[in-house]
Structure 1
Amino acid sequence: MVRLSVDGAIGPQAPWLRHGSSVGGFTLVELVMVIALAGLVAVMISAVLMRPMQGFVDQSRRAELVDLAATALNRMARDVRLAVPNSVRVSADGNAVEMLLIQTSKTNPDFSGAARYRPNRTSSETLKFADSGAGSCDSTVAGGACNVVELLAPGFDPSGAQWMVVYNIGSLSGSNPVAGANVWASANPGVITPTGTTFSATGGASGVTQIALDLPGAAGEFDFAFESPQRRVYFAESVVGYRCEGDHLVRYSYGDLLAVVPSSPPTGSNPRVLANSVRGCTFLYQPGTTVRAGLLSMVLELNQDGEALRLLQQVHVDNAP
């Protein structure tokens, strides 16, 4: 019988299985020490990184609030610049602002509802309208129509307009609008046509658009109180307002001329949330004079997860009627 004996061969004589050999590994004490040290290192790292991470979270939340507030303020500023001159007004508590928005064409978004007009009576520089028959009112309009005004704006589109405004000087008696001299207090003669008047384009010569007025009521007559030195006329489509309600800033619109800013969005005004997390808002309006423009100051305060933000924006209002 031949017996093979080779070092490293598999069998009871293998080196790693010989009596007294040691096998590599971790003891329980070593494992516990490693876990403890790893936990200590993790705590140290988290302590070092906690402030930068918290700063990043705070900065992100602050940036979000700034973007939310700036977007809301810019939207309000845009509407203020598109408002009929001298129509911006603020509620008594300073919590809301309203304005009469100039009409925009549904077919041409770049179209503005403002134009220049020609006087429509031979005996007056102010605009006058009546439902009487053509040729019976000293009309200067081609065809002699008594309810038509000629605008120096070819292709003028009055669709969507609810009111026509000429030389709104925005007169106030204390805090109350003066009837016949302010769009918020309609009268006849006045600076704004009665609610319910409809407008339609009836053509006209080259470079001119004829706008016919269908006046409400049995009398069917309306005279503008003043002539515009620059012959400016505006067509308005709605009253637009902004108000803080609870923790929201809402935008709403309606089709009535109210003497004062309502205490809440009127029924049917379709208020829409423009910003949330609102803690408060303040509006302050300083009407313009003959030597300076009006100034609307808007303050919006937001609060989210303990982060408070207060933004102020001022808008110069060109009130030349």
Structure 2
Amino acid sequence: MTAPNVKDLRQAGFTLIEAVIVIVVIGVLGAIVALFIRMPLQGYQDSVARAELTDLADLTVRRVARDLRLALPNSIIVAADGSTISFFITKTGGRYLVAEDEVPGFKDFLAGGDEVDFAGPRPAGKQEILPGDSFVVNNLGVAPADAYASTNLAQIEAISVIDDTNFHQYRLKLESNPFATQIPPMPSAGSRFHIVGPPVSYRCNAAAGGAGSMTRQWDYGIVRGAPAANAGTISVMTRRVSNCSFSYGDSAGRSALVTIRLELEVPEGGTVKLVHQVHVDNTP
């Protein structure tokens, strides 16, 4: 066996200078690669953030729009600064009986008394008429047919069945009867009525940098327009609100257009602005 050549042993491996050069070259290549990858990655992250904001804004305005389509005719009120919108939500409706229907023993609440009869399928499920709901006729939004002033609104005390097989006739007992004392009388031309719950409000709490929110407020009693900021029950519809507003355009008293403007923003940057319009039927 021959001894290893000392010169060959000295030439094996890398020198320190060679290792430093390799590290420098790898660092330069990494910087070049990062330069080209950073912008696409940032663009992807921005696209994801905008998509999330857009979905959040769209979900919020559609939730508001769903309630607005159920608004009691002529009950929508928007604050002067556009920060809040308030209205009664219609639960169900129908047609009350009048003398021309020639139904024996029906109760004519317009002539007095605290009972009103209606015919047709009895509402069920989420539309079921319950004690505590409000009975409204011919709401015009002005006296003497103004639900906010309770001149054409009465609380329901009870509901009973008169005939559930032939005429499908039912009877509502009212806690009071403002309809018989209206001056002038304001019955519905089509003998229509609406059943509503308490008013609801949507409030914009906009703040710079997306620090604001939009809230839904209910169970605060009957108040014309926006209630006190802390009244009733409040739930947050969305956060990240930097700007929002409501506007209401009435057209000949029979239809209206509600415009919702919502702007969402994230602290890292990125803003989504959404405008949504809802057609409202104001035929009482």
Q: Which of residues 218, 239, 259 is equivalent to 1:253?
A: 218
Q: 1:99 and 2:63 equivalent? A: no
> Which runs of at least 4 in structure 1 moved beyond 3 Å after TM superposition?
154-157
Query: Is contact 1:250–1:273 with CA below 8 Å preserved after alignment?
Result: yes
- Give the residue type in structure 1 aligned to 2:175: L
Q: 1:163 and 2:163 equivalent? A: no
Mapping for residues 74-89 of structure 1, pairs under 5 Å: 74-89=62-77
Query: Is contact 1:283–1:297 with CA below 8 Å preserved after alignment?
Result: yes
Of residues 53-62 and 225-234 in structure 1, the stretch that sits farther from structure 2 once superposed is 225-234
**How far is the alpha carbon of 1:315 from its aligned partner?**
0.5
Mark the CA change 1:299 to 1:263 in structure 2 (over 3 Å): closer, same or farther: farther
**How far is the alpha carbon of 1:265 from its aligned partner?**
4.7
Listed as ranges, the gaps of 5+ residues in structure 1 are 1-10, 104-112, 132-145, 171-177
Q: Which protein has the bigger strand share? A: 2
Q: Which of residues 166, 179, 184 is equivalent to 2:143?
A: 179
Q: Distance in 2 between matches of 1:46 and 1:63?
A: 25
- Give the residue type in structure 1 aligned to 2:97: R
Mapping for residues 96-175 of structure 1, pairs under 5 Å: 96-103=84-91, 113-119=92-98, 127-128=109-110, 130-131=112-113, 147-154=115-122, 157-159=128-130, 162-170=133-141
CA offset digits 1:243-295 (Å, max 9, x no partner): 012511001112522233225252xx2110100011121111012326x6200
- Give the residue type in structure 2 aligned to 1:250: T
Listed as ranges, the gaps of 5+ residues in structure 2 are 207-211
- Give the residue type in structure 1 aligned to 2:272: L
TM-score (norm 2): 0.83
Mark the CA change 1:161 to 1:24 in structure 2 (over 3 Å): closer, same or farther: farther
RMSD: 2.6
| Percentage of pairs with the same residue | 28
Mapping for residues 191-202 of structure 1, pairs under 5 Å: 191-193=152-154, 196-202=155-161
**How far is the alpha carbon of 1:18 from its aligned partner?**
3.4
Q: Which of residues 288, 309, 316 is equivalent to 2:251?
A: 288
CA offset digits 1:139-180 (Å, max 9, x no partner): xxxxxxx6131232245631265211111122xxxxxxx332
How many residue pairs match? The answer is 265
Mapping for residues 207-222 of structure 1, pairs under 5 Å: 207-216=167-176, 222=179
Of residues 201-210 and 70-79 in structure 1, the stretch that sits farther from structure 2 once superposed is 201-210
Find the counterpart in structure 1 of residue 21 from structure 2. Answer: 33
Mark the CA change 1:67 to 1:18 in structure 2 (over 3 Å): closer, same or farther: same
Q: Distance in 2 between matches of 1:102 and 1:227?
A: 18
Q: Distance in 1 between matches of 2:7 and 2:66?
A: 90
Q: Which protein has the bigger helix share? A: 2
Find the counterpart in structure 2 of residue 300 from structure 1. Answer: 262
Mark the CA change 1:233 to 1:51 in structure 2 (over 3 Å): closer, same or farther: same
Query: Is contact 1:242–1:249 with CA below 8 Å preserved after alignment?
Result: yes
**How far is the alpha carbon of 1:226 from its aligned partner?**
2.1
CA offset digits 1:2-46 (Å, max 9, x no partner): xxxxxxxxx4x16xx234334531111111011101111111111
Mark the CA change 1:231 to 1:270 in structure 2 (over 3 Å): closer, same or farther: same
Query: Is contact 1:202–1:209 with CA below 8 Å preserved after alignment?
Result: yes
**How far is the alpha carbon of 1:227 from its aligned partner?**
2.4
- Give the residue type in structure 1 aligned to 2:149: A
Question: Per the alignment, in what secondary structure is the counterpart of residue 19 of structure 2?
Answer: helix
Mark the CA change 1:64 to 1:155 in structure 2 (over 3 Å): closer, same or farther: closer
**How far is the alpha carbon of 1:128 from its aligned partner?**
2.2
Q: Distance in 2 between matches of 1:249 and 1:288?
A: 27
CA offset digits 1:179-225 (Å, max 9, x no partner): 322222222xxx222xx542323342524231222315xxx664274
Q: Distance in 2 between matches of 1:231 and 1:215?
A: 20
Query: Is contact 1:120–1:150 with CA below 8 Å preserved after alignment?
Result: no
Q: 1:238 and 2:202 equivalent? A: no
Of residues 275-284 and 238-247 in structure 1, the stretch that sits farther from structure 2 once superposed is 238-247
Find the counterpart in structure 2 of residue 143 from structure 1. Answer: none
Find the counterpart in structure 2 of residue 262 from structure 1. Answer: 227
Find the counterpart in structure 2 of residue 107 from structure 1. Answer: none
Mark the CA change 1:36 to 1:222 in structure 2 (over 3 Å): closer, same or farther: same
**How far is the alpha carbon of 1:308 from its aligned partner?**
2.0
